[in-house]
Amino acid sequence: MRTIPIWVLSSLLLSSTGEAVALRKRDGSPARVIGFDLESKIIQAPNDKNGMRRRNTVTASLDNLQTLYFVNATLGNPPQQFRLHLDTGSSDLWVNTANSQLCQEVPNPCALSGMYAANQSSSYNYLGSYFNISYVDGSGATGDYVTDDFNIGGTVLTDFQFGIGYESSAAQGILGVGYPINEVQVGRAGMDPYDNIAAKMKAQGLIQSNAFSLYLNSLSASTGSILFGGVDTEHFVGELQTLPIQMHADIHSEFLVTLTDVTLGSTTMGSDLAIAVLLDSGSSLSYLPDAMVKEIYSMVGAVYQEEQAVAFVPCALRQSPANMTFTFSKPKITVPISELVLDLFKITGRQPTFSNGAPACLFGLAPAGAGTHVLGDTFMRSAYIVYDMENNEISLAQTRFNTSRSNILEIGTGRSSVPSAITVAEPVAATHGLRGGGAAAAHSTAHVLTPLAGPFLAGVISGILGFVSFFI
């Protein structure tokens, strides 16, 4: 999970009034798919001095910027409301409590996300005080593992296990939807995995397969969707193409696929790469090899702030018709340059500028440094992605932006169970970019994002020449 603390940019809220959609199986009998709409809004977030990023990359923050995807849900009886950060890069649901020192600050940074009160729920059940997620900068949360009723869009998961952060330095509650092997209790307590959200839905007979699909839609879109146990064939172009999830330390624990080629316009940024990249909705930006990113910055006229580990581009770059193309053995995902240009005025209410007066926007790519290569939200909005934990596979297709049509099909059981998907022949295995050693939850790595001080960019950056257009 990688967040950039500032005002929440294009935050996606999952409507708490949404209901599971009525669907049909491919054979015409009633289907079991749990689907919810994602609603896009810009939300003003409280100051978050300790916004977290889960990967051990060189990273930094702008003052109070967070690009997050949220779901609205309830825990307990009577229901307690929560706004949870949807994160494919972690596996636990955990929430704060009002007793946390962080949540007693004024103004309360936990208020928007919600705080759990165990004694106010009749269905609460204590499991043990071994919830402990930590980050390399010393931030994180410790507390209890418990069970309670979890209601998301009218779908109730009974006796659902989650963590309570009685001591915490993170204001957002997290809904991790990754592999159960990546849960905190596996890495910290040496215990067996428990059923997190997709596995629990399958165990309760709500879906057939431990799989879900994610459609974030375009940067400017007002809606997107997540489907547990199904796909929407109207939300992508062509066929889904299926790739194996890459293992590290002989374990499938994270959503890693092999990136083989990157182009910007007609210029190849890297070929025959065989890099393992993490598909992570909890990462605001995308993080690629440093040398590649440096070349991309040169082509688009980006100015890199080393102390912040982010880059800025002229906002006029969003008018460029250029694209970036990411190849994964065979499937190709095209990302318009406009999807990589993030408007800081919409986020902060003020327009940062370069020293020559040109409006500055945040660029959606950053160097990975020595850490994991990540394709985050700036990539994922252009990709329809099926996360199949049952078969340890990822299926990819080009997103169909801003469509109002829908055709939802169930993901069945067994091999080749994802509708409209073909298996890629002879996929390339990752030769680098894989970390060694067990479940990542044992020590989730992160950096606190430091604020960008002073007048932002004006008077700080000089010599900007504007972006070049020869690569179009």
Nearest to 243 by CA among 349, 328, 151, 342: 328
Please state, in angstroms and rounded to a whole number, the distance separating the CA atoms of residues 345 and 236.
31
Give the DSSP per-residue string, 231-276. Answer: EEGGGEEEEEEEEEPPPBTTB--S-EEEEEEEEETTEEEEEEEEEE
Please identify which of the residues 148, 261, 280, 377 carries the catalytic annotation.
Answer: 280
Q: Which of 289, 449, 298, 263 is nearest to 367 (CA)?
A: 289
Is residue 193 reached through a cis peptide bond, with omega within 30 degrees of 0 on the bond before it? no
The amino acid at residue 254 is E
For the chain, the distance separating the N- and C-terminal CA atoms, rounded to the nearest angstrom, is 32
Catalytic residue, candidates 37, 63, 87, 195: 87
Please list the residues that pair with 251 across neighbouring strands.
248
In whole angstroms, what is the distance from residue 419 CA to residue 231 CA?
7
Interatomic CA distance for residues 64 and 450, integer angstroms: 9
149 is catalytic: no
Cis peptide, bond prior to residue 30, ω within 30 of zero: no
Token pair recorded at residue 441: 């939850």
Between the CA of residue 444 and those of 140, 188, 262, 275, 346, what are the distances in Å? Answer: 9, 11, 28, 21, 31
Burial code of 249-270, b = ≥16 C-beta within 10 A, e = fewer?
eeebbbbbbbbbbbbbbeeebb
**Which residue reads 């890459």 in tokens?**
246
User: In angstroms, rounded to a whole number, what is the distance separating the alpha carbons of residues 111 and 103?
Assistant: 8
Show Cβ contacts of residue 237 under 8 Å, excluding neighbours closer than 6 positions: 397, 398, 399, 400
Q: Within 13 Å and on the Cβ side, how many CA atoms surround 277?
A: 30
Q: Is 27 one of the catalytic residues?
A: no
What is the largest distance, in Å, between two alpha-carbon atoms of the chain? 65
- Interatomic CA distance for residues 416 and 177, integer angstroms: 22
Cα 374 from Cα 350, distance rounded (Å): 29
256 phi-psi bin (left φ>0, alpha ψ -120 to 50, beta other) = beta
* CA distance linking residue 208 with residue 358, whole number of Å: 53
CA separation (Å) from 382 to 210, 256, 377, 397, 468?
Answer: 24, 17, 9, 9, 24
Provide the annotated active-site residues.
87, 280
